[in-house]
Amino acid sequence: MKEVSIVANPRSKVGKGSARQTRMAGYIPAVVYGPEIDPVPISIEAKAFRAAVKGSTGAGTIFDLAVEGKKNKVVIRDIQRDPITSNVTHIDFHAIAMNKPIHLSIPIRLVGVSEGVKNQGGIMQTTMRELEISCLPADIPEKVEIDVTGLNIGDSVHVKDLSIPNVNILSDVHSTVVVISAPTVLKSTAEEAAEAEAAAEAAEGEALAEAAAGEEKKEEAGEKKEGEKKKEGEKK
């Protein structure tokens, strides 16, 4: 668990226009809410927030958020970003109690290079990027790391294979996190040989058909010429 102190200012105005002005002034519009407090619109200096979450996604971080001298323990529930610049445009903070479990999602990080990818030509397919968990705030992990080094082609890791101390995993236990698949774009030697043989047979068949058609035309032309000669002889 990572804990960071950060200062916020209350916002008296809300809406798109106000949020735009807040961002232009170098601040990030945000809101803090929770089961025991009403939603409060706030703003945080963008530079200070980037420094606070440097080297992490903010997931698993507990912020000691101070607004006009009043402090709350909060976690990030949602971060919105500009689709072009990736700059943070809005943050949702959720106030927490240190003695009550909370639900949240933490990022999944794959570590190492799979044996199946490195030496067997396999393809690593990642099907989950986050893991849904429940735990006390003090036990929140910043991320869950999975070492894929020993995975061969056909091997996979499921949610049921994961274990995190003091954490209740809420994601479906049967969900696949990562799998090493065999390459599907490459054809086997046998398949290539069979296709080549079929193509050769087809080409040979076409050639024989063309040759037969040519012989038939020659034969018809010869019969026609022979008939014409016979007619000329009868006239004489």
**Do 177 and 148 contact (CB within 8 A), yes or no?**
no
170 and 235 inside one domain: no
Judging by beta carbons within 10 Å of its beta carbon (0-12, 13-18, 19+), is residue 18 exposed, middle or buried? Answer: middle
pTM beyond 0.75: the answer is: no
Digit-coded pLDDT (tens) for 2-14: 678 889 998 877 8
109 and 140 inside one domain: yes
Does residue 78 sit in helix, strand or coil?
strand
Q: In 8-157, which ranges are continuous DSSP H helix? A: 16-24, 46-52, 115-118
123 and 86 inside one domain: no
Distance (Å, whole) CA 53 – CA 91? 13
Q: Please state the domain count of the chain.
A: 3
Digit-coded pLDDT (tens) for 12-56: 778 888 888 899 999 999 999 988 788 889 999 999 898 888 766
14 and 82 inside one domain: yes
Does residue 135 sit in helix, strand or coil?
strand
176, pLDDT greater than 80:
yes
131 and 212 inside one domain: no
Domain assignment of residue 191, given as a range = 187-236
Digit-coded pLDDT (tens) for 152-174: 999 999 999 999 999 999 999 99
Does residue 138 sit in helix, strand or coil?
helix
Strands of 176-181's sheet in order across: 123-126, 176-181, 156-158
pLDDT score at 26: 92
pLDDT score at 162: 94
Q: Please count the residues of the chain.
A: 236
- 138: confidence class by pLDDT, cuts 50, 70, 90: confident
165 and 124 inside one domain: yes
Distance (Å, whole) CA 191 – CA 170? 45
214 and 171 inside one domain: no
The domain boundary residue, chosen from 181, 199, 221: 181
The domain boundary residue, chosen from 55, 72, 96: 96
CATH at 78:
2.40.240.10
Digit-coded pLDDT (tens) for 211-223: 556 555 555 555 5
Query: Quick one: which of 35, 153, 143, 49 has its CA closest to 91?
Result: 49
CATH at 171:
2.170.120.20
What residues form DSSP beta bridges with 74? 63, 95
100, pLDDT greater than 80:
yes
92 and 20 inside one domain: yes
